[in-house]
Structure 1
Amino acid sequence: MASTSVHAGEASSSSSIQRPPPRSWMYHVFLSFRGEDTRTGFTSHLYAALRRKGITTYKDDNNLPKGDFISHELLKAIEDSMFGVIVLSPNYASSSWCLDELCKILDCNKNLGQHIVLIFYGVEPAHVRHHKGTIGEAFKIHERRQKPEDIQRWKAALTEVAGYSGWNPKDYK
């Protein structure tokens, strides 16, 4: 796929918020989603709609070169994206990859000025914030298999992102 470079606009000089300097972006959007929940439905439709509008979008199954080490390639794609679009779905937290992507997106928001768009797809923001329902069930499994510092980092990321204003598709039916 040919890459395009996208330039972020400069922040207003009257702003009291410290913003990173303008930079070039490889992608407009990085889509973070749990494949088994949304890949062939919602995320595929979102991806197609973004592409139709000319929005350069990174979706792992379309952009990930075969044979590359996945974590490095995904983390680089997140850094190279102007927006991180997070599709939080019932099984999102069951994937350590999704949780690592989420942490990286939050890091890029703070350090690179990446914007975050949050979509609550089949989950309630309160369940994400308080790690209830399927989110809480996923952490019970992670706690048996993962390092405590990873669990703590992932929970903090979910709590933080749940406080963002997000879009809930069920509100638009």
Structure 2
Amino acid sequence: MVDIEGASPSLTPSWEYHVFLSFRGEYTRNNFTDHLYTALCQKGIKTFRVHDELIRGEEISATLCKVIEDSKISIIIFSENYVSSNWCLDELVKILECKKSKKQMVWPVFYKVNPSDVRKHRGSFGDALAKLEGKYKDDIKKVHKCWKALTEAANLSGWPLGV
């Protein structure tokens, strides 16, 4: 919980977690993301990362939405296959909604990908979005939300690593 000295309790945001990590598990879990998670925890930063057993099914769960809402900062780790996960895209859309509605901080990390490819939907990002468009042709609004979220997140100041 973040305590803002001098603020009334009704004006003080209530955060369950300091950081929510959004990442494509099978591609970054055992290297960069694991090291980042460990470093944050060692500094006393309460960090949430989704474990494999929690990611079953197509839709983002209400529980995970609540965790995102209750996090002060979201770190999005864009890797080559981030967009191939519907789950990651749903998280991304929710994170950016909370950025607007709850004034949360969002920090993108571009892990071995070019931020411009994320922003302009090129390479694996464009391929994955094309597949998504085919899958959700009856719900094109969902696809457009994902496109917009990717562009918005890629336009934020972040860290390119290993590009």
Q: Give the TM-score of the pair, scaled to structure 1.
A: 0.82
Asked if 1:7 corresponds to 2:2, the answer is yes
Residue of 159, 162, 168 corresponding to 2:160: 168
**Structure 1 residue ranges (4+ consecutive) displaced by more than 3 angstroms after TM superposition:** none
- What is the alpha-carbon distance in structure 1 between the residues aligned to residue 3 and residue 70 of structure 2? 11
Partner residue of 1:79 out of 55, 66, 69? 69
Identity, % of aligned positions: 47
Q: For residues 146 and 25 of structure 2, what CA distance do their matches in structure 1 show?
A: 19
2:152 and 2:141 mapped to 1: Cα distance? 16
Change (3 A) 1:75 1:124: same
Uncovered stretches (5+) of structure 1, i.e. residues with no partner? 1-5, 11-20
1:63 shift after superposition: 9.8
Cα shift readout 1:15-50 (whole Å, capped 9, x = no counterpart): xxxxxx431100000000011210111111111111
The partner residue of 1:89 within 69, 73, 79 is 79
The CA deviation at 1:140 is: 1.6
3-state SS of paired residue (2:51): helix
Match of 1:17 in 2: none
| Per-residue Cα deviation, 1:120-169 (whole angstroms, up to 9, x for no partner) | 00111110111000000101211111221111000000011111111012
Say if 2:148 is the partner of 1:156: yes
Name the amino acid aligned to 1:167: W
Residues 61-105 of structure 1: CA deviation (Å, up to 9, x unaligned): 1895x9xx9611111100010000100111111111101111111
State how 1:65-144 maps to structure 2 within 5 Å: 71-144=61-134
Alignment partner of 1:27 is 2:22: no
Q: Which runs of 5+ in 2 are unaligned?
A: 6-10
Q: TM-score, normalised by structure 2?
A: 0.87
Alignment partner of 1:46 is 2:36: yes
Indicate the SS of the match to 1:29.
strand
SS at match of 1:25: coil
| 1:169–1:36 CA distance, 2 compared to 1 (3 A) | same
2:45 is paired with a residue of what secondary structure?
A: coil
Match of 1:56 among 46, 50, 62: 46
